[in-house]
Chains A and B, each alone.
Chain A
Amino acid sequence: MITYISSLMLPCLVLFIVAYGLYKKVDIYNVFVDGAKEAFDMLPTLFTCILGMILGINLFLESNILGYFLDAINPVLKSFQIPAEIIPMAIMRPISGGSTLALLNNLFETYGPDSYIGRIGSVIQGSTETTFYVLTLYFGSVGIKKIRHALWVGLLVDLIGIISGIVIVGLFFN
């Protein structure tokens, strides 16, 4: 039902905007083309920022520092009853959307979507955003270099979201 509604959203939005434009006697086709052209203005900054970030992230992932880090903090996690299996996903969530999905995929494959770990993974995926990506993309598109407190507040909020996700899954499903 909810998926049906959300798959209706996009077509309805397009339908509504075009119909409303016609109703308001807007020159809709030319206005559409003019608007779409603006994408080319964004292209140079957009591409170079993505290129830079992907280079950095992939090199970092390749070093497997994350794996060593997990081994080191495992005892702490056990005492808080946080399943270590979800930590890579929690760490990757703000950095890379693609690798988070890949990690969630692994969790579903190993533990199933209706397991405790599967549910925590689902809630983390559904309630947080790829902070690094959004930051790079949005600030990059207008050439902002001094980002002030945006990054650490964004990451702190992600952490709050992830912790509340774990707590809430515990409360809702136990």
Chain B
Amino acid sequence: MVKKLMVNKIWGFFIIVGITVCVITGNLDKVNYEILNSTKVSLELIIKIFPVVALWLGIMNIAKVAGLLDLLANAISPFLRKLFPEIPKGHESLGFIASNIVINMFGLGSAATPFGLKAMQSLQKLNQKKDTASRSMITFLIINTSGVTLIPTTVISMRMMYESAHPTEIVGACIVATSISMICAVLIDYFVARRKVK
């Protein structure tokens, strides 16, 4: 019951603090504008992301039917099986997780999202308690958010836009930083999950 409230607390905190502070500091116009504006912003975001999701779900379906995802999953499954001990061998979710991680590594975040959503759906099929995140889901999410990126496309293009002398010079530093956070992510998740099971 307490854990369930985590997201509620954050969301509630944002809204209550946001509105209260704005009212106290006299920013009433801004609050009124922001409440209605957030609907517009989220619709714009959906319009941007939805066609991309549909496109990739289509392309991915070809990969799935043709057996490509299985090939990919088999290739990195020894590694994934250690990270996701709860997923049965050869389960479809491993293929989606593998694709998501591989595409993320190449800095194609938005292309990786549909694979991630698909992976969550298929992890949900394995999940015992449908409203509670399973251990595999959390592991997947934490690996995903620790940012396994080899080629940070967005930053490189922004650096080029601002005429950097060496737009790609930060790639090495990024790889080292993501590797550190990725290793920490796996270790922390491993120990937390183990403690919770006991």
Contact = CB atoms under 8 A, between A and B. Distances in A.
Interface of A: 1-3, 5-7, 9-10, 13-14, 17-18, 20-21, 23-24, 26, 28, 31-40, 42-43, 46-47, 50-65, 94, 101, 104-105, 108-109, 112-114, 118-119, 122-123, 125-131, 134-135, 137-139, 141-151, 153-154, 156-158, 160-161, 164-165, 168-169, 172
**Top 8 A-B pairs, shortest CB-CB distance:** A35-B61, A59-B18, A126-B152, A161-B181, A36-B58, A56-B14, A63-B21, A39-B54
Contacts of B57: 35-36, 38-39
Given A43-B50, A123-B177, A146-B3, A33 B58 contact: yes
Nearest to B148: A129
Q: How large is the interface on B (under 10, 10 to 19, 20 to 34, 35 or more residues)?
A: 35 or more
Instruction: Decide if the interface of chain A is mainly helix, strand, loop or mixed.
Output: helix
Given A20-B63, A108-B158, A164 B181 contact: yes
Interface string B139-160: 0011011110101111111111
Contacts of A138: 116-117, 120, 137, 141, 144
Nearest to B131: A145
A32 B151 contact: no
Interface in B155-185: 155-178, 180-181, 184-185
Interface in B18-72: 18-22, 25, 27, 30-31, 34-35, 37-39, 41-43, 45-46, 49-50, 53-55, 57-68
A3 B160 CA distance: 10
A26 B66 contact: yes
Contacts of A114: 164-166
Contacts of A157: 142, 145-146, 181, 184-185, 188
A84 B152 CA distance: 24
Given A63-B17, A125-B158, A153-B192, 5 more contacts: A35-B61, A39-B114, A101-B158, A144-B132, A168-B173
Contacts of B34: 58-59, 62
A85 B43 CA distance: 32
B4 interface: yes
Nearest to A36: B58
23 contacts: A10-B108, A17-B63, A17-B66, A35-B59, A36-B57, A38-B57, A39-B53, A50-B42, A54-B38, A59-B19, A62-B27, A63-B18, A122-B155, A126-B155, A126-B170, A142-B120, A144-B124, A144-B130, A148-B133, A153-B192, A154-B145, A157-B188, A165-B173
B4 A146 contact: yes
Contact of A101 (B27, B142, B154, B176): B154
A53 B11 contact: yes
A163 to B, nearest CB: 9
Contact of B61 (A34, A143, A169): A34
Contacts of B49: 46
